[in-house]
Copies of this chain bind each other. A is one copy, B any other.
Amino acid sequence: MKICIIGATGHYGYVLEGLEMERQRQEELNISKKDEYTSNCQYAGIADIVGIAPGSQGEDITPLVKRLMQSNPSICVYDDYCKMLDEIKPDIAVVCCYFADQAKAAIEAIKRGIHVFMDKPVATTFEDLELLKKFYYNSNVHLAAMFGIRYTPWFLNAKEYVDNGAIGKIRLMNAQKSYKLGRRGEHYKNRNIYGGTIPWVGTHAIDWLHWFSNEKFISVYAAHSNLYNSDHGDLEVSAICSFVMTGEIFATVSIDYLRPATAQRHDDDRIRIVGTEGVIEVRDRKIYLTNKFTSGTEEIEVAEDYKENIFCDFLAQIRGEKKCMVSAEDSFYVTEAALLARTSADEKREVRFL
C-alpha cells in the first residue's frame, strides 16, 4: 500500500511509529523490504510512504522530508498535494498540515477514492466539517482522526476495565489536558489557521468522554482565555468545558498550555471516571482503580501487550482485517463537539447539541 503525506505539522509520528512496528513484524517474518522497491515512486509491497507535499501555504516540510529520505531516498516530494495524489495514486493520504487546511486536503483525497488518516480536529469550521462529511458519506474510503491517545496502554487498559464493568455505570468524568507551551510556530497564533485550543488540544479529552461512555453530548458550556500566552497571539492557554451527556452523565474538561517547562513529560493527560460501582483514574501514565474488589485505591498494572498504534489499526481496517477503533463517525462527532464548545467559549453561553 502506498502512502502519501500532506503536511508536516501535526502527529505524523503515529504513521512513522506504526510503519516501524509493521517493519519489525515483517522482519520477524523474514521478508526483505528493500527488495520490494522496484523504482522511484513505484512500490509493490507492504505499506510505505512514497510521497510528501505541504498541505498549507508557507508550511515547511523540509525536516520531515530529510527524515523520510533516510529510510526511502526515492521518496517523491511535491509542491502541490493534488498533483501528488493524481500522480502517485496512493492508497492512503496522511493529512497533518495547518489545522484549518486539513478538511480541504482530506476532501481532495476522498474525491480521488483515497483513504484518509488525518489529524484532529478534522475541521476547524462547521462549514468545512459539513463539506467533509458530505464527501465522506458519498465515498467508500475509510477516514479516521488521530485520536492516538486512546491507544496508549494506560487509556486502552482503563477502557477495558470500564467495558468489563469495573466501575459500574459511568456517572461523572473529569478529563484533563495540560501541555507545555514552549515556543510555537506562527500557525498557532492565528485563530483562522490554528482553529483554537479547545479543538486542537481539547478534542482528545472530548473524544475520551464519548469513547468511554458511549453516550451523546446534550449541551456544553465552555470558556477559554489567551491571557498570559507568552506572545502567542490568539492562542488560548487556559480553557474549561462542561458537558451534559445522555443519561444525566456529566463531564468536565480542563485544558491548559501552562505546564511548567521543568515537568517530566510534555503532557499531563488524565481522566477520572466515577461510576456507580467504582472509580477509575488514568494519571501519570498509570491506572488507579477503587471498587469493591480493591483494597482502598489500587494501581492497576498495565498489561504489556496493550502497546498498540492507531495507524496500524487504521491499516488493518483497510486490509479488511478488522474495524479501526476510531471510526469516521467518531472523528466527525467529536470534532463537532469541540467546535460547539469553542462556540460556547467564544459567545460565553451554553450551546445545545441538536
Contacts and interface: CB of A to CB of B under 8 A. Distances in A.
Interface in A132-175: 169, 171-172, 174
Contacts of A237: 171
A56 interface: no
Interface stretch (A32-40, A287-295, A311-319): A287-295
Interface string A105-139: 00000000000000000000000000000000000
B296 A264 contact: yes
Interface string A270-312: 0010111111000000000011111111000000000000000
Interface in A167-185: 169, 171-172, 174, 176, 178
A209 to B, nearest CB: 12
Interface string A323-349: 000000000000000000000000011
Nearest to A230: B276
Nearest to A168: B228
Interface in A236-292: 237-242, 244, 247-248, 250-252, 254, 256, 258-264, 272, 274-279, 290-292
Contact of A244 (B223, B272, B277, B292): B223
A275 B258 contact: yes
B254 A172 contact: yes
B169 A228 contact: yes
A254 B254 contact: no
B238 A274 contact: yes
Contacts of A251: 240
Interface of A: 169, 171-172, 174, 176, 178, 219, 221, 223-225, 227-228, 237-242, 244, 247-248, 250-252, 254, 256, 258-264, 272, 274-279, 290-297, 348-350
